[in-house]
């Protein structure tokens, strides 16, 4: 079995690859398409900066790009973002779509989940620890939540292009859509490369990257 990767990003944010690797990215939506201004902005950025394709799930295990049939394995990364409501679109959580997503992961594909779509890790059964919490749209001036590199990790490639002397904020100062994250997660094996901040100061609870 090849390694599978799911990256969950609470409070919408995605750092562009820092390794100079060419890859194909699909921005996957259900039948409602780009359902709110947050999704529109996310896809606009991804299509311009990362040449992302807009992929639509039909709920029956099929996917199309501008009416042309596609398969998930044509993309190195599939990004699912949903912020228009507190529930993931039916076409995304249908059994057939989730079977296709799991087959893609088992074959070595990677999912990037943002905003309320982090729930998909639970739908797929690949996340069983921690508690999901969904946040209503915050509007103007939400908390300044971000990350700082852990001591000695300032030069890690994931932080390339960022000013590591300041917190790297994960949400804009306007947050009109729904978001979600996991809390109460158990300690995980591995190396801590970043810590969560709130208002620029370290936050001890659930604050590791």
Q: What is the pLDDT of residue 127?
A: 76
Is the distance from CB of 209 to CB of 195 less than 8 angstroms?
yes
Mean per-residue pLDDT of the chain:
77
Decide if pLDDT at 196 tops 80: no
Name the strand (E) or helix (H) holding 61: none
Residue 101's CB: how many other CB atoms inside 10 A?
25
**Token pair listed for 96:** 């057939």
Residues 6+ apart with CB under 8 A from 203: 195, 196, 197
For the chain, how big is the Rg over CA atoms in Å?
A: 17
Q: Does domain 5-135 have CATH number 3.40.50?
A: yes
Q: What is the pLDDT of residue 23?
A: 59
Q: What is residue 170's DSSP assignment?
A: S
pTM of the model as a whole: 0.69
Q: What is residue 190's DSSP assignment?
A: S
Q: Any idea what the Cα angle at residue 42 is, between residues 70 and 111, rounded to 5°?
A: 50
Please state the rounded mean pLDDT for residues 52-70. Answer: 94
Domain limits, CATH 3.40.50, in the chain: 5-135
């Amino acid at each position: 079995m090849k390694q599978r990767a799911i990256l969950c990003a609470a409070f919408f944010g995605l750092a562009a690859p820092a390794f100079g690797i060419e890859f194909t990215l699909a921005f996957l939506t259900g039948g409602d398409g780009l359902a709110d201004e947050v999704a529109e902005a996310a896809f606009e950025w991804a299509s311009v900066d990362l040449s992302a394709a807009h992929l639509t799930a039909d709920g029956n295990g099929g996917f199309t790009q501008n009416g042309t049939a596609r398969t998930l394995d044509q993309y190195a990364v599939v990004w699912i973002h949903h912020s228009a409501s507190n529930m993931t679109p039916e076409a995304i959580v249908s059994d057939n779509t989730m079977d296709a997503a799991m087959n893609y992961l088992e074959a070595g594909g990677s999912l990037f989940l943002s905003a309320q779509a982090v729930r998909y890790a639970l739908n797929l059964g690949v996340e069983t620890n921690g508690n999901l919490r969904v946040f209503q749209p915050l509007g103007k001036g939400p908390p300044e939540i971000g990350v700082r590199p852990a001591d000695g990790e300032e030069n890690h490639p994931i932080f390339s292009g960022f000013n590591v002397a300041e917190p790297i904020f994960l949400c804009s100062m306007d947050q009109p859509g729904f978001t979600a994250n996991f809390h109460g997660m158990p300690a995980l094996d591995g190396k801590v490369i970043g810590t969560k901040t709130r208002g620029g100061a370290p936050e001890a609870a659930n604050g590791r990257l």
